[in-house]
Amino acid sequence: MTTALVNAIAPRLRGLLSTEAGPAVVAVSGPSDTEGALVYEAADAESAAAGLADAVAAHRAAHGEPGAVVVPGVGTFTITPAAAASGRLAGRVAMVTGAAQGFGLGITEFLLGEGATVVLADLNADLAAREAERLASDFDGRASSVRIDVSDPDSCQSAIAEVVTQFGGVDLFVSNAGVLRAEGVMTQSVADFDLVTNVNYRGYFFAVRAVAPIMAAQHEADPSRWLDIVEVNSKSGLEGSKRNFAYAGSKFGGIGLTQSFALELVEHGIKVNAVCPGNFLDGPLWADPDRGLFVQYLAAGKVPGATTVDEVRRFYEAKVPMGRGCLPSDVARAITYIVEQAYETGQAVPVTGGQNMLN
């Protein structure tokens, strides 16, 4: 099976066979002699993309809607029309990186609750698979998983291709994977700085580079539908962070990428925005007893006078006018708002309980 041809054909079929209920699901399998299928000869990805709309229209006029498209030498594209479903994101295929735990897992659960089909993409493939199996049993089989290392461009391409093979495309891509290493500028190791930069900044670029052509193909086939990329950024992308410069720098850079991607991809029907959460004080990023931020910040002396983890926590709670840390549901609601908002792109939306206010 040729990945380039699958990526050229499946997203366009998803768009070409859209109904009012939403885009079709296109699952790709091995060769088949499906009776009544549209047989489509494709020499290469460019010619396949150019002639597909005419081939579908001709088959539709002569035989009705194709239930499958057989591409000799490539495989069978089985088409399932979108079913009427409830929820604000019903019919959408979402992919969330860093989805096996923390914000990513909470965002995934919220999107599933709004009717989306969600792919949990994570470097920890085993944990992502276990969580996807659990969620699939709760949400009508609408959760699956894929391994991704966002710091590796080949891994990003492979993960996106796997999702395209399973569903035909991606309607919402949430770039959530991230790491943090807190340390002062005179003492942080180059290895830790590079790790944060490679995952948070370069990884965002690699992921968008992989998914944007798929989304562009979907929009080309169905210009009435817009697609969404949302970066889970941070309040540290809106203001500097003492003894946390590597993370803040990567997040400042992420907003620059978001704005630049938005300007470029709008002509392809893709909105690109960021949400900037406050501190998820109950999540593993903060509360892990060995590598959590409470422990890191205490060791780095980031909170003057603090001698215990509890003192560090109270210090950060006191910074928030609403008096609590950010929750995954807060972030997921902001993502859903951005998807529903048809007239915004290139924005960085604070979700900080009033700790950050834009002007």
Catalytic positions are 247
φ and ψ at residue 82, rounded to 5 degrees: -60, 135
Nearest CA among 163, 115, 37 for reference residue 339: 115
Strand 93-97 and strand 68-71: the pairing is unpaired
Nearest CA among 128, 161, 115 for reference residue 11: 161
Q: Which residues are bridge partners to 231 per DSSP?
A: 175, 274
Q: How far is it, in rounded angstroms, from Cα 79 to Cα 161?
A: 17
* 203-221 helix and 45-63 helix, angle to the nearest 10 degrees: 30
Nearest CA among 170, 182, 125, 133 for reference residue 149: 125
Place of tokens 């699958």: 6
